[in-house]
Structure 1
Amino acid sequence: MDSTELESDILRRVRALLRELDGHHPACQSDRGMLRWTLHKKIDQNPSNSSMLVRILVKELERAERGDFRHYIIPLLHTLMYTLIKAPCISDELCSRVYDFCKKLLTLPKPFCTIGLDYAIRLKMEMTAPGMLYQRMVISEQSLKSDPYPYQEKIFVFADPELLSEAICNALVTDTEAAQVSQSPRVCMCYVITHTVQAALAEGCDIHSLQASLQGMATGDVEHWFQQVVSAVECGGSAERGQHTARLEGIYHSILSSSPAGDSPLGGLQGTPLPNPNISFHLWTEDDQLWKELVLFIHPLSQSCEPDCLSQDLDNFEIQDIISECECCEQTRFSMLSTDSGIERDLPAAAEEPLVPCSAEAEQSRLHRKGGIKKKPSPLESVAFLQAGGSSPGAKPPPKLQRRAGAPPEPAAPLQRLHTARIVLLGDDRILGRLAQAFHSLRKRETRRAFLTPRLNLQFYHIPVVTGQPNTSALVDHTATSHGELCEVAEYLSRADPWYESNINTLCHIIPKLATMPSSPSKHLVTDLFITDVIAYYARMATQPVCFQVYAVKVFFNDPAQEPAEDVFLTELCTQVQDSLSHRELNMIKKKTNLDGPGIDLTVTYRKVVVSDRAKELAVSLRSTALVMKAIPADEAEDLMCLSVNITEIIRINNLSRRSFSAVANKLKTRNIAIRSTEQRPFTVCLDKDSRRTYRNVINVEVSPCLEPSYCLQKSRTMKFNLHETEDVGLVKYMPKSLLLPINTFAGVIQ
C-alpha cells in the first residue's frame, strides 16, 4: 500500500470515528467502541505512520473548529495525544500546530479550555524534551525507581462477584494477568531508553544496534543508563533543545561503545511498545477492601510477612496504627496512643528531670503495675512498617514526640502526593452504591486521622457491565432489570460525554460477549487483549470528573428498642409497603384497605427546590403504595444536585354504585425529605437497587445531602467557640460542604 492509499485509509477510519459520535455509523451496535482501538492498533503495527495520523487529526481539528463541530474536538484531541505519546518521533512543525490549536481552546468554556490548557502544557514539555510524556507514563505506571520523577500509579479493577457472572470474572482475571506478561522492570527501562533516544535523535538513531546493546548488558548497567536518560530528560526543561539533544547523543554513543559494534544498517524510525499499566483485579467481597488495598499500595508489606496472617492482620488494622508516628498528623491529632502508663515508678531511670524525693508513706501509696499479657505485634503495626512509608522520598524521618514542654518539635518536610490510585468499577449502579459507601467511610477515616489524603491522588472510573443472569437471582430487583434502569449513571455520562458513550458505555454488552467466546490461540498475546487495552486507555486519558451528590439516609424502625440506622446512597432510594405481617395485623389491614384503598398513609415533609434557591418547607399527607427517589437526572441539562421523587398516590373515588380507587403519580424535586408512616404500618427501604441493602420494618426515613465529614468536624470545632453563630464562619465557609463522588470521563459535562 503506497502512501496515498495509506493516507486515504487512515482518513476513512478517522471519519468513521466522527460518524460514530453522531450516531450515524453503519456498523452494528455490538461493534461500536472498537473503531478507536483498531485505529491505534493499525498505527502500532507500523509506527512510522504516526506522523501521518497526527497530520490528519490536526486537519480534522481545524476543520471542526471552522465548522463549529465542537463535539468532535475533544475526541480528536484525545486520539491525537494518545498517538503522539506512543509515536517514535514527531516533527516540531506538527507539534507546534497542535500546540497553537490547544491555545485557541483557552477562549472556549469548560471543558474545552481545561483540556486545552492541560494538553498545551504537555506539548510544551514534549517540544522542549522529546520523549518526556512517554517516559513519565512508563515510570509512573510501572513504579520504576527514579529520583527525578518519583511518582507511582496503579489501576485497581473492582468487580462484585454477586453481580457479574463467573465467566466474566475469570475472563478479566485472565486478561489482567496476561497483560503483565513480559513486562519486567528491565524490559520497561529498555523501552524508556530506546524511545527517548530515538525521539531526540530521530533518523540519527540506530535503533537496532541500541536494542542489541541493551539486551547484552547486565541489569545493573541497564538501570544505570536508564537513570542517566531520565535525568537528562527531567533536567532538559531548563536547558536549550540543542543541549538536551547533545546530552542524549552522548548517552547513546556511550551505550553503543559498551558493546561490540554491529553491521546492521540504519532502519529508520521504529516504534517502541507502550507497556500495559500495572493493573490488579479484585473481587469486592469485604466492605473495607478498598481502603485496605489503598493502604497496602502506599505501604507495601515486607516480603517476610506470612501470607496466611495477612488477612487477619488487615482485619485488626486501624488507621491509628498506621500513622501513630507520621509527622503529617501531629497538628490534627485528637487523641494519642501512649505507651506511658502515667505512673512515676514506670519512668526510666535516666529521665529528663530528676524525680523529687518523697516520703515513705507516699511511696507505699503509689500504684503498682501488675504483669500483663504481651501482644505480638503484627507486620502492619511494626515500627519498620511505619517508618518504611511514613514519609516521602527525600523527607526527613518523623521526629520523636517531645515529652517535656519547652522543646519545639523539628519541622517536618511537607508530604507530596506521589501515588495515584485509579479505581475502575465494573458493573452497574449497584456497585457504584457500594463505592459511595466505601468512599464515605474512607472520608470519615481521613477526617479522624489524615493518612491517605496527603499522600494519595484518588481517581474513580466506571465501566458499565450488565449480565442477564447474575450468580444470585435474588439480587435482581423487579423494579430494575433493564440496562437503562440498572446503569443510570453510565447513561447520564454517555449523554454528557459522547466519547464516553463510544468507548466505554458500549462495553456493557461487549465484555459479556467476549467473556463467553472460546479462547483463541493468540489469547496470550497482549496485543489481542481488547478489554485491558480499553481499561488502560480510559484510565490514561479520562481526566475530567463528573461529581455526583452522595445522599445520607437515616432509617427509623417500628421497634422503639432498635437503634436508627444510617446509610448513604448514590442513585436511588425505593420504598414499598411491607407485606410480611402477622395474621391479626393482616386482617386489620384488609378491613382498613376496603375503606381507604391499598397502600399506607404517609406524611411527606420536604424542602421544595425553586429557581430562586429559597428554602420552602412543605408537608403533605397522602396514601401511597410506593415511592422512588432518583438522584441521577434523566437529562444532562437538569440539576445533578437534586432528588426527583415519584410518589404513587392512591385517590379514592366515590360513585353512586360503588367506591373505587385510582393511582396518581406525584412528582416533586427536593434535596431534603422525610417520609413517616402515620398509622405505624411498616414499609421497606431499598438503596441503590441492591436488595442486599434493604431495610425492613421502617416507619420513618429521612434523606438529605451527605455532608463532607471534614466539614462537619471543622464546624463542630467552630461552634464550640462561637455558640451563637448560625452561619458558617472562619475556615468552615471555605470548605466543601457536600460529599461529592467524582467519576472521571474524557470530557466531563459538555454544555
Structure 2
Amino acid sequence: MESTEVESDILRRVRTLLRELDGHHPSCQHDRGMLRWTLHKKIDQNPSSSSILVRILVKELERAERGDFRHYIIPLLHTLMYTLIKAPCISDELCSRVYDFCKKLLTLPKPFCTIGLDYAVRLKMERAAPGMLYQRMVISEQSLKSNPYPYQEKIFIFADPELLSEAICNALVTDTRAAQLSQSPRVCMCYVIIHAMQAALGEGCDLSGLRMSLQDMPMSEVEHWFQQVVAAVECAGSEASVDREQHVERLEKIYCALLGSLPPGDAPLGRLQDIPLPNPNISFHLWKEDDQLWKELVLFIRPLSQSCEPDRLSQDLDNFEIQDIISECECCEQTRFSVLSTDSGIERDLPLAAEEPFAPCSADTEQSRLQRKGGIKKKPSPLESMAFLQAGCNGPGAKPAAKPQKRTGVPAKPPAPLQRLHTARVVLLGDDRLLGRLAQAYHSLRKRETRRVFLTPRLNLQFYYIPVVTGQRSAPTAATHAAAGPEELCEVAGYLGRADPWYESNINTLCHMIPKLATMPSSPSKHLVTDLFITDVIAYYVRMGAQPVCFQVYAVKVFFNDPALEPAEDVFLTELCAQVQESISHRELSLTKKKTTLEGPGIDLAVTYKKVVVSERAKEVSVSLRSTGLVMKAIPADEAEDLLCLNVNVTEIIKINNLSGRSFSAVANRLKTRDIKIRSTEQRPFTVCLDKDSRRTYRNVISVEVSPCLEPSYCLQKTRTMKSSVHEAEDVGLVKYMPKSLLLPINTFAGVIQ
C-alpha cells in the first residue's frame, strides 16, 4: 500500500513537470524551476524510490516518443539520468530499458541523436560497472588524485560588481563558501567507496558497518581502499571482456577486506540508503580586471603554490623561450650569447676571435645553450612568465624544461600527445552587458592562444549563463537602454529559453529568484533554502547542460572625427547602438540648427552593406539616408531565424512637402546583413555603444565598420598561406578546414531544438 502511494505521488509530480513545459500551469508560474528540484529532493529523502521514478520516467519517455510530445524527451531524459547518477542502486533490467530507448534516439535529428548517443555510451559503462557515473563525477569535481581517471573540473562563477547589487554578491559568496565546508577529500573518498559497494551489492551491503570501518581508518588507508575501488570500477567499465558478475566479485573481495572480522554473507541486510552527491568545487569571482578570466584559468592548471622559485623565473623563461626559436640545424648546437649590442658598425671595433671563443655543447651547458651576458634583465611576474606556464605541464605530454642534446645514432623520442585533463566550467551571472565583457575576454584569450598555445590543448573550456537583473549601479545614458526592462537586458537568455524549454524552466526563473533570495532577512530557513536551492541548480546546470548554442562575435572598427586619433577596434555580442551626438561646439550648433530646419532632424549617413538573401549570394548595396540613429541586433527575436545575421533597425527621416508647409516623419527601415559600413557624410559625429554597456561607449565617431569577427588562429594560418600561395582570394590547404568565424558557445540542456 505504501509503495502504491509513493508511486502515485511521484507520477503526479512528473505529470506536473510536463504541464509546466506546456505552459498550461499558470497557478505555479512563480514556482517554476522548483518542481524539478523538489522531485529530486523527494527521491533523496527516500532512496528506495529511485527505481520507481526511473520506471515512471521510462514509461513517459516511451509515451512521448509514440505521441506528438517530442519536446518532453530531453527534459525527461535529463531528469532520468540525474536520478541514475545519484541513485544508490538500479537494476540492470531498468538500465537496459533506458539504454534501448537512448539507442532509438539515434534515428532522430539533432540534438536528440547527440544526447541519445552520449547517454547510451554512459549507460553501457554503468551497466558493466554500477556506480561508475557517480564515481567519475565525484573524482573530477573534487579533483581527487586517481591514476585510472585523472580528470579535474572546477566551476568559476563570474559576476560584474558594477551590474549586481552588493547584497547579491555577498549572498553568492556566502553560499559558495558554505557549499565547500561540508565536504573534504576524506569524506568524498568515503562516499565513492560506499556508493560503489551499494551500487554493486544492493541491499546486501552493510552500510553501517562499512561507515564505521572507514571512520576508524587513518587517511592513508582510506586513500588505499579508494584507489582499489576506483581501479576495480574503471577496469570493469573499460574492458569489454569483464561482465557485471565479475565486477561484483571484485568489489565483494574489497568489501570483505574492509569489514574485516565480519565473514562474507553474515552482514545484516538493510534498506537502500542515500549517499550524498557532494557539491562541486565552486569559486566565486568579481570581474574587476579585463584579463581576470585568463589568469584564473592559468591558475587552475598551474596553482601558484607549485610554481617555480621567483629568483629563477627569469633564467627559466630564457631557457623556455629559446626552445621555440632554435632550429635543428647543426650550427644551433653551439652555445650562444645574448648581449646588449655595442657594435659601432666599424670593422676594427669588432672583438678578436680569441676573446670570445665558441665552445661546443657539453654536459654542463646542455641545460642552457643560450647564456645572457651583460644584458639587461627584466624580472617577470610569476603569472605572466612562460616558465610558470610550462612548469604546470608535468603530466602526460609535458614539454621538458630544456631541449635535450641531439646525439648521433640515438633516435629522437616523439613527444606524447597532450590531454585535456582539466575542465573549466565558467558560469556567468548577469545580463547581456556581462556577456559583452565575456566576448571581449574570449576574443583576447583566443588571440593570446594564437601567439603562444598553452590553454587550448590542456583545458576543456565550457561557458554557462544564468540571467540576473537588478538595478544598475553605473550612471545610465540614453544609449544604454536604461529604461529598458529585464527582457531588453536579457535577450540572450530569452533566445535560449525559447530554443530550449528546459533552460526556460530551470535557469531563466533564477533571473528574479536570486535577487529575491539574496534580499530576504537572515533566518535559519533562509539559509536552508539558498544553500540548497541556488547551489543545487547551478550544479545541476553545469552537470547536465552539455549542448552548446554558438553565438557569432562581431568585430567593430570605429573611426573618429579627429584625424590624429587611431581607429579603435572592439567586439560585441548582442547589440550595437548608434545615436546622433548632442554635445557639439557652439559654432557647429548654430550651423546645425540652420541645416536642421532645412533637412530635418538627424544626420546624413552613407550606408554600405552586403544584403543577406536566401540564395546565400552576397549582394552589396549602398544607400544614403538621413537618420537619428540605428540599432544592430545580433540576437534574433525568433529562434527560427538565422543566428549568424545582423538585424539593423535604422530610423530614417523622410521629408514631406504639403500645402501646410514642410514636415518630417520617422520611418523604421530594417536591413539584414553580416557586413556593414556607416559613415557620416556631413562630418557630424555620433556615439556608439556596445552591448548596452555605458562603459563601452565611443564618442565623436565619424564612421564605423562591422563584420563577423574572425578566429585569430584562422587569420594567422591565412596569412602564412598567402605568403606561399598565389590563390589569395580563396582558402587553400589547412585554412579551408579551420573555423573561420569566432563563435562564443553557451551551454544549455538541449541546444536549439528544430
TM-score > 0.5, shorter chain as reference: yes
Alpha-carbon contact 2:560-2:703 (below 8 Å) kept: yes
Which residue identity is paired with 1:585? E
Question: Partner residue of 1:52?
Answer: 52
Which of 719, 723, 726 is matched with 2:722 structurally? 719
Aligned to 2:584: 581
Amino acid in the other structure paired with 2:447: K
Identity fraction in percent = 80
Residues 407 and 398 (structure 1), Cα distance of their counterparts in 2 relative to 1, 3 Å cut = farther
What amino acid maps onto 1:218 in structure 2?
A: P
Amino acid at match of 1:285: K
What does residue 437 of structure 1 align with? Answer: 440
Q: CA deviation at 1:396?
A: 7.2
341, 346, 355: which is aligned to 2:338? 341
> Which amino acid is 1:133 matched to?
L
Structure 2 partner of 1:119: 119
- Number of the residue aligned with 1:228: 228
What does residue range 51-450 of structure 1 map to in structure 2 within 5 Å?
A: 51-237=51-237, 238=239, 239-257=242-260, 265-302=268-305, 324=321, 340-341=337-338, 351=361, 371=374, 375-376=378-379, 378-380=381-383, 385-386=388-389, 388-393=391-396, 397=400, 400=403, 410-450=413-453
Instruction: Select which of 654, 657, 669 maps to 1:654.
Output: 657
Matched AA of 1:515: A
Q: For residue 301 of structure 1, report the CA deviation from its aligned partner.
A: 1.0
Q: Is the 8 A contact 1:189 1:223 kept in 2?
A: yes
Aligned to 1:423, the other structure's residue is in SS state strand
What TM-score, normalized to structure 2? 0.90
1:213-242 CA-to-partner distances (Å, cap 9, x unmatched) read 001100000000000000001111311222
Deviation of 1:378 after TM superposition, in Å, equals: 4.5
CA distance in 1, matches of 2:167, 2:150: 38
Quote the Cα distance in structure 2 between the aligned partners of 1:199 and 1:401: 49
Question: For residues 352 and 225 of structure 1, do their structure 2 counterparts lie closer, same or farther at Cα, with a shift above 3 Å needed?
Answer: closer
**How far is 1:167 from its partner?**
0.7
Q: How many aligned positions are there?
A: 724
Conserved 8 A contact 1:399-1:410: no
Note if contact 1:176-1:281 (Cα within 8 Å) is conserved in structure 2.
yes
For 1:609, the equivalent position in structure 2 comes to 612
Deviation at 1:654, TM superposition (A): 1.2
Give the direction of change, closer, same or farther, for the CA distance of 1:20–1:203 in structure 2 (3 Å limit). same
Q: Map 1:518-529; keep pairs closer than 5 Å.
A: 518-521=521-524, 528-529=531-532
Residue 597 (structure 1) aligns with: 600
Counterpart of 2:348 in structure 1 is none
Out of 554, 559, 579, which is 2:557 matched to? 554
Q: Is there any run of 5+ residues in structure 1 with no aligned partner, and where?
A: 332-337, 354-367
Aligned counterpart in structure 2 of residue 466 of structure 1, from 462, 466, 469 = 469
AA aligned opposite 1:225: W
SS of 2:704's equivalent? strand
Query: What corresponds to 2:493 in structure 1?
Result: 490
Q: 1:440 to 1:232 in 2, by over 3 A?
A: same
1:668 match: 671
Question: Which residue identity is paired with 2:66?
Answer: R
2:642 pairs with 634, 639, 642, which one? 639
CA contact (8 A) 1:323 1:451 kept: no
Deviation readout 1:658-697 (Å, 9 max, x if unpaired): 2110000011100000000000000000000001000000
**Counterpart of 1:251 in 2: which secondary structure?**
helix
Question: Residue by residue, what CA displacement relative to the aligned partner does 1:159-190 show, whole Å, maximum 9, x if unpaired?
Answer: 00000111110110011001111211000000
Amino acid at match of 1:470: Q
The alignment partner of 1:463 has SS state of strand
In structure 2, the residue matched to 1:32 is 32
CA positional deviation for 1:46:
1.4
Question: Which residue of structure 1 aligns with residue 503 of structure 2?
Answer: 500
Give SS of 1:546's match: strand
TM-score normalised by structure 1 residue count:
0.91
Matched residue, 2:344:
none
Deviations 1:486-538 (A, max 9, x none): 00000000000000000001110111110111222256659942111100000
Deviation by residue 1:284-311 (Cα, 9 ceiling, x = unmatched): 00000000000000011117999xx9xx
User: Residue 553 of structure 1 contacts residue 701 of structure 1 at CA under 8 Å; is this kept in 2?
Assistant: yes
Unaligned runs of 5+ in 2: 329-334, 342-352, 364-370
Query: What is the one-letter code of the residue matched to 1:699?
Result: I
Aligned counterparts of 2:521 and 2:133: Cα–Cα separation in 1: 37
Asked if the contact 2:307/2:391 (under 8 Å) is kept, the reply is no
Matched-pair contact (CA < 8 Å) for 2:396–2:417: no
**Secondary structure in 1 matching 2:456:** coil
Map of 2:367 onto structure 1:
none
1:571-628 deviations in Å (ceiling 9; x for gaps): 0000000011111111110110000000000000000000101111100000000100
CA distance in 2, matches of 1:125, 1:262: 27
Higher deviation after alignment, 297-306 or 561-570: 297-306
Q: Counterpart of 1:607 in 2: which secondary structure? A: strand
2:711, 2:741 within 8 Å by CA — same for their partners in 1? yes
Q: Does residue 705 of the first structure (1) align with residue 713 of the second (2)? A: no
Cα distance in structure 1, aligned partners of 2:463 and 2:721: 32
Structure 2 counterpart of 1:163, one-letter code: L
**Does structure 1 retain, via aligned residues, the 8 Å contact 2:397–2:417?**
no
**C-alpha spacing 1:132/1:647, structure 2 compared with 1 (3 Å):** same
Q: Distance in 1 between matches of 2:171 and 2:275?
A: 28
SS in 1 for 2:272: coil
Q: 1:420 and 1:669 mapped to 2: Cα distance?
A: 37
* SS of residue in 2 equivalent to 1:474: coil
Change (3 A) 1:618 1:77: same
2:744 aligned residue (735, 741, 746): 741
Question: Residue type matched to 2:301 in 1?
Answer: I
- 1:544 matched to 2:547: yes
One-letter amino acid of the counterpart of residue 203, structure 2: E
Q: Please state how far the C-alpha of 1:25 moved relative to its aligned partner.
A: 1.4
Q: Which amino acid aligns with 1:498?
A: P
For 2:487, the aligned partner's letter is: G
Deviations 1:613-655 (A, max 9, x none): 1111100000000100000000000000000000000001112
Aligned-residue CA RMSD in angstroms?
Answer: 3.1
1:618 aligns with 2:621: yes
Residues 660 and 289 (structure 1), Cα distance of their counterparts in 2 relative to 1, 3 Å cut = same
CA deviation string 1:301-325 (max 9, x = no partner):
117999xx9xxx9xx99x9899748
